[in-house]
Structure formats: structure tokens, C-alpha cells
Chains A and B, each alone.
Chain A
Amino acid sequence: MISALLYLKVTSLKNALLQRARRLRQPRYLLGTIAGLGYLYSVFWRRFRASTALPGSLEAPSAELLGTFATLGALGLCVIFALSWVLPEQRAGLAFTEAEIAFLFPAPLSRRRLVAYHLVSGQLRLVVLAALFGLGSNRLALFGGNGLTHAVGWWLVLTTWNLHGIGASFAITRLMDRGVSSRRRRLVAAALAAGVVGLIGWSFAQSARVPTQDEVSDLRQLAAYASAVLDGGPVRWLLLPARAVLAPLFAADTSAFLLALGPALLIVIGHFVWVLETQVSFEDRSISRTEERSARLAARRQGKGLVVATAKASPFLLRAEGRPEVAFLWKNLLSTSSLFRPRTFAVLAGLIVVGGQWLGRSPELRPLLVMVAAGAGTVVFLVLFLGPMLARQDLRDDLANADLLKTYPLRGWQVVLGALLTPLAILTGIGWLGVLAMAMTPGLTTRFGLDPSSQWAAAAGLALAVPFVCLLQLVVANAAALLFPDWASTTRNQAERSIELMGQRLIFTAGRTLIIAVAVVPALLVGGVAVLALRGLLGLPVALGVGAVAGLSLIAVELAVAIRWLGRLFEGLDVSSELRG
């Protein structure tokens, strides 16, 4: 039976690796891998190398400092252990995949074997995590020892943490089976915690020394003081098991590591036996936990969070006659928060106008108005440059329904335009509120060396630009989804984490930025030339307005052409996903 389970894990791992290797034949994965590896190299490896090369920047920690780290780490680990006894509210449940539940739960396997299988299965993740942590802590020269001792040390910590969490959940389930309520258990845990805190207080009192001013002002000295307090009296014994688990990680050299390894391994083995020998039923909760996880993963694969849909009142009355694009706006608004409604925006605009005037009348409240304006400016900036990536109630979210949308008697551009309307309306509404708040701040433009009279003209120009700039970015993002549906679907897949996927996202972002820049530059040139040419003739406010209209007209033409083109792309989109990619 063990050989069968081992076969399952080894074969699955081998096939997963082979599948990853095979898909490198596809350019998008190969390019993604190259970009991802390049990014990792530049962000982590190169910096780590550079940091260790810097003389004196990160010297090896002293034995005293290591001791302090170990004591504080042990205290942290004890808190984590304590929380694993307090926080759980439900019965114990182990994380299995749906296939594992379907095959292994009805199989003639003992409970112990199932638990052992689960524990061994989880080891791959812990080993990888420990290796990464070890790489990081070694490069940052946080502890003594070397990369290997760090990795093993992290593995011991993570494994003990994992096993203790499972063991505690099993023990809690046993208590539940015996009729001990969660409230009673927590009361007992709280009493124990109070006892421990009291013990620490007593240790502090025994040390009979308050920290000096130097110790309080210097973090390192304060940590050493805390360590000295915790190292004395009964607290020392209380922290002993956690210190033993952490000792290999904080070992200064190989011999210290080897000496510390034995006790730490004993604690891990003790935990393993404890978990294996605790007889509780975990199957029901495991199944429900797996179902929850599958639903979460399915939602993330579609690029959605696990949002529970609720029935909402229609955002506006949708008549049967009229432009069909409006039906998409109506439909997609229903999928958003009820706050994104015209009435909400109207109320907020009214509040901004009234509040702005009230703040503007009191000179002592002017600083507050400037703060509001700064906040509003941040909102406008985020709407313009981050909003289109976050507001995805367009084809990016609806591409999964493309086969349904394609049966509608509509031209492709109508579907595309309809899909774009909701994020555009939401972002424009928020952006305009921000612009309004900025416009209500007296003398804001004078800070930028502009005439006060041009403030409302600048605000009008910015307000005019908001929908165009947002729509431009939305069009580019939707074009990417239509041109490269496979790329879009994989980059949308939040459930998968891999280097190639990270690289694909980087390439996508870079491409999007480049295209937007290319589209905006001509408009900026046209608008800028118009302002410079007309400033002397018509005055700055009018010149700004004319410049904005000229530049945005060019963007409007680009957008009209792009939406028509996207429509043709949508009409030609082959939705036979089963044969794609």
C-alpha cells in the first residue's frame, strides 16, 4: 500500500515536471520562463550577491546577538503554538485534493496511513519553502552557519509548526467529541496564557532591573535586555522546547548545528508520533475543506475572488428597446457593488461641493482642504494608472462566456463597446469625484506656478481626459485578452504560481505600457503644440481647453478604430477552448 502511495506521489511529481518542461516548446511559456528567471536573478540573486560583496555592510552576527535572536524566535514560536490551541473553531480537517479523497478515502487504508500520506505529501512544499528561506537568510547573513544549515533549520521549524498545528487540531477535535465547548477551551487557554504572562512578569521582577535609557533607545540593546529577562527563571524552561527547535537554525557553525540537530529532530519525531497516534475522525471536515478549496481555486483560475453573488436591484431601468450596448452596462453593473450607482456618485459630488466650500471659508481649515486635495489627487492618479487593471468587468471577465455572447445578434464592436462601458463608467465616476475635490481647493494651481484663474480650466481638461485615458487602457487590456486568449487566460489564472507565469505577466505589463505610450504621445504632442500656440493669443485657460480637446480628439479617433478592430477580433475568435493551446 505504501508503495502505491509513493508511486502516486512520485509519478504525479514527475509528470508535473515533464508537463512544465514540455510546455516550454510553446513560445509564451519559453518567453515567460526567460523573463521570469531574468526578473528573479535581477531582484534576488544579483542583489544577494551584491549585498554580501559589500564590505562591512552585513557582518556575521555575534554569539550574543544569535542568542537574542534565538530567544525572541522561541517566544514567537511559543505564541504560534499557543494560537493553534486557541483559534480553531471547527473540527480537524486535513487538506487533500479531490482526487485523493475520491480514491484514497474509500480505499482499504488505515487512518494512520492516510495521515502519514498527508504528512509526507506536504513535505515537498515545506522542503521547497525551507530551501528558499535558507537561501534568503544565508544571503542576508541573518544567522550563523551556512546555506545548508539554514535550509535544514528552516525545515525543522516549518515541519514542527505544521505538525503542531495538526496535532492541536486533532486534540481540539477530541475535546469537542468529549463535549468540551470552544468557549470553555478558550477560557482554559486564556487562563494558561495569563499564567505564562504572569511568569514572565515574575521573571522580570526577579531580574530587579528596569532597562536603562540606552537600552530603551537602541533596538539591539533592548532586544538583548528582553533576551536576558527571558533567559532567566522558569520562562527559560518554558521556552526550552521551542529553543531546541530553533537551535539548528541559529547555530553559529557546523559543529554547533550538529549538536543542536538531535534534540530538534527528537521534537519533530515526537510531534509526528503524536499526530499519527491521535485517534480522531477528520474525514468529514477534510471533504468540506477540499470542496471549499476547489471552489476557491476554480474562482481564482477564472481570475475571480470567491465572491458570493447576491441579488441586487437593477442599477437603472433597462427598456427592451434601445442600444444593446447599454444592456451590457446594465448587466455588468449588477456584478459590481451596489455603491457604483449614479445616485451614489451624485450624493458624493454634492458632499464634495458643500464640504469644499465649508472648508474653503475657514482659513484655519485650509490645511485640511489641501490634505483632501492631495488625497483626491492620489485617487485620480490611481484611477488613471491602476484602475483599468483592477476594474475588469469587461471582456477579460466575460471571455469565458464568449460562446454565449457570440450567439447574440450583435456586431463584434457592439459587444466590445458594451463590455467596456461598465469599467469605464465606474472609473470615470471615481475620477471625476477626485477632480472635483481638487478643483474645490482654492489656489491649488498656484502651487504649480499657474494662474489661479486657470484652476477650473485645468480641472475641466483633466476631467475630460479621465474617460479617454481610462478607455485607452481598457481597450489595450481587452485587446490583449482577445489577441492572446491563451496568454490572458493563463495570466488571469491566479491559482497557478510559476516562474513562467510570472514572466508572462511581466511581458504583458511591459507590452501594455509600451502600446499606451505610443498611443498617447501623438495626442500629447498635438495638445501641447495647441496650448503653446494659443496661450499668447487666447490666454492660458482657453488654450488649455483647446489643447485638451485637440489631443483627446486624436485619442478618440484611435479608440474608435481600435474598438472596430477589436470587434472584428471578437467575431473571429475561436472559442473552441478544448482544442486551444
Chain B
Amino acid sequence: MIEIVELVKQYGGFTAVRGLSLTVPPGAVLGLVGPNGAGKTSTLRCAAGIIPCTSGTVRIAGVDMARDPVGAKRHLAFFPDEPRLFDHLTVRQHLNFVARIYGVKDHEPLGAALLAELELTEKADALPGELSRGMKQKLAIACGLLHSPKALFLDEPLTGLDPLGIRRMKDSIVARAKAGAAVVLSSHLLHLLEEVCTHVLILKKGEKLADGTLAEVSSRFSNGEAGVSLEEIFLRATADRDDAAPAAR
């Protein structure tokens, strides 16, 4: 379960996120969408405890991030858009390191299974510099999943993946959700969200314009039309006319 209540994030005088609240139950996949500068990455970073919130509450699996950041972080995994890896550690050594940090007992069979699932077994002794962009992304994912997190935050997870990699990533996200993880992902690829997400939240200038299941958000912006795509909904929701009065739900 991921719970965010009245999250505010300011950088100096600039407010990136304004009183955002959301709840993602186990098994749900929430798609965070919005134009550039909407506050998606700030929201994800605050929720993952990477940057401090200016105000508001974040709870991961019931653990308050402000009160017990270590406890909350034990249950989450964050996947940035650009995979962050250590230049001098091989694929296997990355898993070894993460296992010690999270105290994952018997990590070797778990790691081997993850590498097999992500087709990295043959690259187990390769350094990040020897991996393609997609493989680096897969390694970052393997590191994030090793401790079986209950909450996943993915920032533009499909960047740099080939079509097969995209398919596998979608399947992986859905599988983790079915296994009981709460997932929040931000992406500009709206067809991905349509395929993977159970819920969607539209952000603009740090404010929530709409959220709910895909059907709920569609019905709100479809004006009674049938079969309106998420892309069309997104464009309608974030059109300039909404600037003056964002529709808070």
C-alpha cells in the first residue's frame, strides 16, 4: 500500500507539488501522467524518500516515511528513468551489494532467477560499461526487485528498451502487481498506461487534475463520447483552459 496525503514539495520559492494525495492499494498500478514540469518526478522522489517533502505524509506499507524512513524504505524500490549503476561492479556484484544493504538472505538463487527472467544470466560477470542501455535498465530492475518490495516507483520505465524489452517490462509490472505490490509509474507513453495501469492520475503544475480508474477518468473527460483514447483524455484534461481552475477531485 502506498499512501500520500497532502504532499507539498517546494524548491526555494517554486512549488513543484501542491497538496497531492493519493492511495495505491496492493495489486493496483497507478499511472502518473502530466506535461513536462507537472511534478511527476518530484512526487516519485518524495514518495521514495529520496528528497524530503516540504509538508505532507508518505506511508509505504503502513510505515511513515518521515518517522521511520529506514523501515519505509525496506518495502520500496525506486527505478529512475536513467539507470544508476556503479561503474566498477559487475552484474553479479551489484546483486551481492544490494543483498547486503537490504539483508536479503539466500539471495543467490533469487538473483539467479531474476537474471534469468531479465535475460542477463550471460552477462552476470559484465560491468555496466559493457551493457547496452536496455540491459543496464534490466540490471537496475533486478537490483530493485531482489528484496521483493511491496511498493514500486518507476519513472519512465520503458526508456531505452527494445520492443521485446518493453513487452517484458509490461508483463513484469503486471506480474509484480498481481503478486501484491502497489505500483506507481510515470510515463509519457500513454498506450503503456492504458495497457498496464488500473488507475491513472493526471498532474499539471503540481496539482492533481483528475484521478481514478481509467474508466472513471475517461468518463469525466469524454463528454459522453464512446471510445475516447487516454491520449485524447490527457490532452483535454491538460488543455490551457484548465489552467485557471484545475478540477480538483
Contact = CB atoms under 8 A, between A and B. Distances in A.
Interface of A: 308-312, 314, 318-322, 324, 326-327, 330-331, 334-335, 401, 403-404, 406-411, 571-572, 574-576, 579
Contacts, number: 101
What 3 A-B pairs are tightest by C-beta distance, nearest first? A335-B88, A327-B100, A409-B73
Given A322-B100, A334-B88, A401-B84, A407 B77 contact: yes
A407 B99 contact: no
22 contacts: A311-B90, A311-B125, A312-B88, A320-B99, A320-B100, A320-B107, A324-B100, A330-B100, A334-B86, A335-B87, A335-B88, A401-B84, A403-B84, A407-B49, A407-B77, A408-B73, A409-B71, A409-B74, A409-B102, A410-B101, A576-B45, A576-B51
B25 to A, nearest CB: 22
Chain B CB count within 10 A is highest, among A324, A404, A411, for A404
B104 A320 contact: yes
Given A318-B96, A327-B101, A411 B70 contact: yes
B62 interface: no
Given A309-B127, A327-B97, A403 B89 contact: no
Interface in B1-35: 11-12, 14, 16
Nearest to B12: A579
B154 to A, nearest CB: 13
A576 B51 CA distance: 7
A401 B86 contact: yes
B85 to A, nearest CB: 9
Contacts of B74: 409
A331 B89 contact: yes
B69 interface: yes
B186 interface: no
Contact of A409 (B70, B80, B107): B70
A330 B49 CA distance: 25
A35 B126 CA distance: 46
Contacts of B129: 308-309
B103 A407 contact: no
Given A308-B129, A320-B107, A571-B69, A404 B84 contact: yes
Contact of B80 (A309, A335, A403, A572): A403
B134 interface: no
A493 B60 CA distance: 37
Contact of A311 (B50, B72, B77, B127): B127
Contacts of B106: 320
Nearest to A330: B97
B46 to A, nearest CB: 10
A576 B70 CA distance: 21
Contacts of B105: 320-321
A330 B90 CA distance: 13
A406 B100 contact: no
B42 interface: yes
Nearest to A317: B96
Contact of B100 (A318, A403, A411, A576): A318
B202 interface: no
A335 B101 contact: no
A572 B51 CA distance: 7
Contacts of A320: 99-100, 103-107
